[in-house]
Amino acid sequence: METTEPGIYAIGDIVAGLPQLAHVGSMAGLVVAARIAGKFAKPVNRTRIPGCTYCDPQIASVGLTEAQAKEKGFQVKVGKFPFVGNSKATILDAHDGFVKVVSDAKHGEILGVHIIGTTATEIIAEAVTAIELEATIEEMMFTIHAHPTVAEALLDGFSSVEGMAVNV
């Protein structure tokens, strides 16, 4: 976040190339504050910023789309899980939507997660964390999720990459 002028930092909407989102500006501010204090801070990674659309149903995504992953030369493996199979979505009467997971077929790396559905803007954080920590499909499909929760749709989304979604 340091500019070409040493000791001068920029955050928020004035930073070229960063999405103009409140959560990006906030994180950039934390990075700058840590650096000024002489503490470690990872730079903001443009590929790990969640995009959220607050509509009904909600839309949230992080990482690469299937088309972008293919353009970058990845051997792509995709899983998709419909919210109609999620117990909490049934409780909320909110069956519209799905979770789509884009992964690298060779190593199982999670490349992108795209959600349309109830609380998508809330549960995308798990996908951001998975990508940030370079989790694999196998690791995420064996991560226990509380039941009944909308977040279980992510569990089934990750598992669907390997054809192992339970709630279909």
Instruction: Please list the active-site residues.
Output: 147
Cα distance between residue 89 and residue 96, in whole Å: 9
Paired with 113 in beta bridges are 62, 101
Kind plus residue range of the DSSP H or E element containing 114: strand 110-116
Q: Give 106: exposed, middle or buried? Use CB within 10 Å, 0-12, 13-18, 19+.
A: exposed
Q: Of 134, 140, 138, 117, which Cα lies nearest the Cα of 61?
A: 117
